[in-house]
């Protein structure tokens, strides 16, 4: 059982603290429940740009001092933007926890958004866009979701476009922050050798002044378009995604089933696709699969890279493996082995404070409650082959599956 402490401040900010006394570090996450799907039509990429801008200086710290305040003490500082949330996080020594919280909250609450810095950072993000487009093994994933979900909020690229990013001015940043960075959307999460009472006291003093008034919103479930899109580019390999719509984070009865399905089919080195396509036939260096789950829906994707001469064969093998799991599911030994593997990953993740922090944060943001490891293991152990087959037939029918590939077509 976890020793999770939760408090909700009077303005709606949530604080999660999990004391782990046997370590000498702490992982701190300052989250906002806002992502690219919350952007309006004229705001494509603004959430990600704001993530960059929060590192560019406050009245009391320059950009360099923000980095030095954490990294100069042996810590790690970073951030990421997703389709439904943004996280600013650091890993610090236990004695530096208060400083870590101070730096992250200073960034979120007091960033300057200097117009000159904004112009510079827009250039940085545009270079990031160009780099992504130059890396077909990365770019194909964003294209795949875009082709599947079109103009749906979940289908738009998190990073935006060069045109949209260069259009933003300071007032656009301020307006978006004022709308989305409201108290009810903010979560401070800490795991490590810390005192919960001190964390709560510090957080209330700093975050208790955040304005309230966040609005709950949910978009319709995206209806994936089954299409074949082959993009011609002078590459050595065909970089591909083959996938379908999957489950929402709120399909709680299917979360464990989806995990077993994904892991057995393509999520590990012992998976069917890795063994069949790479180990037995040597057709790829890289092949795997993953599941994305959001509030409104999700996606299941097989990805990899292969030579042009092997492309048709690889596609055929992937389809064959889809058909096999639809017809027969998993054999008993495979099912038990996969469940044991996933159980091991869940437990081993508890060894890392960052993993603990991320896990409890996502549970809170998605479900407003903790899902203990014990509960997760019970769900996992209950997964049956009948459920695997039912899920496979629900999502893998050829009429639902789309293919996106970048290569020398």
Catalytic residues: 51
- Dihedral of CA 149/153/154/159: which sign? positive
Q: How far apart are CA 64 and CA 101, in angstroms?
A: 17
The tokens of 334 are what?
A: 């495979």
CB under 8 A, 24+ apart: contacts of 165-169: 165/45, 165/49, 165/122, 165/125, 165/126, 165/129, 166/122, 166/126, 167/42, 168/46, 168/49, 168/118, 168/122, 169/115, 169/118
**Of the candidates 288, 33, 298, which has an alpha carbon nearest to the alpha carbon of residue 155?**
298
Other C-beta atoms closer than 10 Å to the C-beta of 401 total: 22
Exposure string (b/e) for 11-31, b if CB count within 10 Å is 16 or more?
A: bbbbbbbbbbeebebbbbbbb
Contact 31, 365 (CB under 8 A): yes
Q: What is the largest distance, in Å, between two alpha-carbon atoms of the chain?
A: 63
CA 189 to chain centre: 16
For residue 242, the cross-strand partners are 302, 403
């Amino acid at each position: 059982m976890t020793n999770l402490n939760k408090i909700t401040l009077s303005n709606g900010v949530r604080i999660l603290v999990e004391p782990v006394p046997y370590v000498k570090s702490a992982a701190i996450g300052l989250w906002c429940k806002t992502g690219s799907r919350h952007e309006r039509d004229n705001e494509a990429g603004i959430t990600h740009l704001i993530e960059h801008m929060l590192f560019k200086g406050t009245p009391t710290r320059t950009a360099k001092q923000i980095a030095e305040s954490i990294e100069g003490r042996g810590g790690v500082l970073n951030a990421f933007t997703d389709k439904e949330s943004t996280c600013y996080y650091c890993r610090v020594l236990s004695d530096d926890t208060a400083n870590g919280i101070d730096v992250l909250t200073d960034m979120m609450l007091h960033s300057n958004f200097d117009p000159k810095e904004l112009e510079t950072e827009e250039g940085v993000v545009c270079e990031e866009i160009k780099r992504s487009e130059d890396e077909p093994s990365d770019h194909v994933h964003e294209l795949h979701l875009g082709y599947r979900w079109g103009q749906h909020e979940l289908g738009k690229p998190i990073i935006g476009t060069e045109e949209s990013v260069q259009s933003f001015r300071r007032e656009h940043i301020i307006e978006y922050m004022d709308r989305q960075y409201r108290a009810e959307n903010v979560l401070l999460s800490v795991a490590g050798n810390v005192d919960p009472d001190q964390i709560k006291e510090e957080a209330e003093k700093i975050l208790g002044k955040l304005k309230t008034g966040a609005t709950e919103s949910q978009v319709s479930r995206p209806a994936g378009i089954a299409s074949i899109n082959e993009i011609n580019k002078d590459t050595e390999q065909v970089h591909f995604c083959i996938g379908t719509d999957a489950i929402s984070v709120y399909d709680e009865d299917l979360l464990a089933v989806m995990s077993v399905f994904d892991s057995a089919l393509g999520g590990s080195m012992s998976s069917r696709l890795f063994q069949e396509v790479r180990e037995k036939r040597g057709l790829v260096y890289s092949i795997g699969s993953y599941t994305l789950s959001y509030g409104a829906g999700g996606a299941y994707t097989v990805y990899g890279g292969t030579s042009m001469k092997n492309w048709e064969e690889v596609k055929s093998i992937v389809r064959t493996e889809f058909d096999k799991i639809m017809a027969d599911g998993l054999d008993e030994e495979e099912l038990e082995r996969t469940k044991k593997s996933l159980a091991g990953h869940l437990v081993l993740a508890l060894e890392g404070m960052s993993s603990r922090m991320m896990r409890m944060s996502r549970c809170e943001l998605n479900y407003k409650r903790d899902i203990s490891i014990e509960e997760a293991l019970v769900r996992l152990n209950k997964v049956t082959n009948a459920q695997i087959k039912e899920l496979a037939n629900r999502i893998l029918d050829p009429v639902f599956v789309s293919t996106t590939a970048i290569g020398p077509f």
